[in-house]
């Protein structure tokens, strides 16, 4: 009887001991899993991403408010003003990018039928600066060409004899000397006259025989 009670008590104590060991083992395994630490690391990463996004937004706002150092609109306005000045100075269209240096005339189409033949004598008396008055043929068209000396250079006028059309050049002394081969000869200015489609141009002396 005593022995049975002793065995029962030992079994009960063993069971209690086993429960304690189980509790201890389970508590140790729970401590090995740092759930709280993992959660803190995740929150830190989220805060870092939010901070980066805010910094990027602030940078974009600063960039959008910053004015460009290269004002393309101002460049276009300056270019148009320069071209307008060149047109006013030269009195004939200014062409960019030409490999052969030439001077393009301003063309005038008159509605009147008054030809240079009928007014040739009047212009001779009314223009004391007239250097040369000569008839030429370009591309099968007859022209009356007049060259006058001006304060800044030369004025060349070419009138179609059979049509109410005329061409006009205003060139400076330096440009005229280049065309005349550095020798003042109005005939060389007339020799430099060429037709380019519907336009009349003046070519340099070195290009006149091309």
- CA–CA–CA angle 156, 157, 160 (5° rounding): 145
pTM of this structure? 0.42
Task: Scan for tokens 């009887």, then name that residue.
Answer: 1
Tell me the domain boundaries of the chain.
98-207
Contacts of 169 (CB under 8 A, 6+ apart): 92, 103, 105, 106, 154, 155, 156, 157, 202
Query: Is the confidence at residue 33, as pLDDT, over 70?
Result: no
What distance in Å separates the CA atoms of residue 63 and residue 55, rounded to the nearest whole number? 12
What distance in Å separates the CA atoms of residue 206 and residue 52, rounded to the nearest whole number? 68
Task: Scan for tokens 């069971």, then name that residue.
Answer: 15
pLDDT digits (tens, 9 = 90+) for 151-192: 888 999 999 888 888 888 888 888 888 888 788 888 988 888
- CA–CA–CA angle 116, 117, 120 (5° rounding): 75
pLDDT digits (tens, 9 = 90+) for 125-153: 445 688 889 999 998 889 999 999 988 88
Work out the burial of residue 130: count CB atoms within 10 Å of its CB; fewer than 13 is exposed, 13-18 middle, 19 or more buried: middle
């Amino acid at each position: 009887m005593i022995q049975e009670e002793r065995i029962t008590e030992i079994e009960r104590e063993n069971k209690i001991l086993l429960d304690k060991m189980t509790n201890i083992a389970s508590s140790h395994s729970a401590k090995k899993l740092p759930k709280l630490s993992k959660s803190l690391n995740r929150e830190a990463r989220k805060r870092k991403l939010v901070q980066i996004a805010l910094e990027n937004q602030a940078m974009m706002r600063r960039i959008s408010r910053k004015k460009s150092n290269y004002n393309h609109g101002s460049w276009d306005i300056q270019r148009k003003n320069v071209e307008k000045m060149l047109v006013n100075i030269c009195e004939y269209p200014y062409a960019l990018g030409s490999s052969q240096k030439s001077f393009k005339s301003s063309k005038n189409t008159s509605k009147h039928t008054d030809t240079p033949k009928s007014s040739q004598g009047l212009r001779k008396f009314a223009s004391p600066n007239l250097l040369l008055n000569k008839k030429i043929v370009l591309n099968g068209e007859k022209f009356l060409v007049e060259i006058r000396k001006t304060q800044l250079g030369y004025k060349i006028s070419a009138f179609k004899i059979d049509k109410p059309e005329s061409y006009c050049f205003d060139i400076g002394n330096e440009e005229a000397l280049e065309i005349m081969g550095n020798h003042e000869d109005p005939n060389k200015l007339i020799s430099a006259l060429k037709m380019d489609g519907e336009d009349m141009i003046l070519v340099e002396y070195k290009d006149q025989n091309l």
